[in-house]
Amino acid sequence: MSEKNILEIFQGAAKNLCNSVLDQVQDAVVWLDKDRKVVYWNKAAELMSGIEGAHILGKACFEEPALFVDFGGVNICRDKCPVAMTLKDGAPRTLDVYLQHKQGFRMPASLRIIPVLKEDGEI
């Protein structure tokens, strides 16, 4: 077995372990890529939003339906996206927002944005 194959197996196992752990967390965990597209949506996010992972994976945070909105119901990721700001400056952020439920109602939420860094410090 080549070193590349071993690395791929290890990465797959690590991803499965990470997903298994995050699916047990009772807080919503949403993972976005550099294009701000949803690449992970845990079970708590499904329960809190009413949106199944299969329907949201691959969609950008600024697309409709809005995931997080301000007090007036405006999608926070359209004009002043906190994820885009963190991708630009690397700073973690915490915001008080509202989670927009699939059925239309909003729930207050604390949104925490944390950049995931590579070994070289790049996001």
Q: How many domains does the chain have?
A: 1
In a domain, 120, yes or no: no
> Residue 91 falls within a domain, yes or no?
yes
pLDDT tens profile 1-29:
666 655 566 566 667 767 777 778 789 99
Give domain status of residue 88, yes or no.
yes
Residue 68 placed within a domain: yes
Domain with 79, as residue range(s), is: 3-113
3-state SS, 2-35, equals: CHHHHHHHHHHHHHHHHHHHHHHCCCCCEEECCC
In a domain, 46, yes or no: yes
**For the domain that residue 55 is a member of, what is the CATH number?**
3.30.450.20
55 assigned to some structural domain: yes
Per-residue burial over 39-50, b = 16 or more CB atoms within 10 Å of its CB, e = otherwise: ebbbbbbbebbe
Residue 89 lies in a domain: yes
Q: What is the reported pLDDT for 122?
A: 80
pLDDT per residue over 27-49, tens digit each? 999 999 999 999 999 999 999 99
Distance of CA 89 to the CA centre of its chain: 18
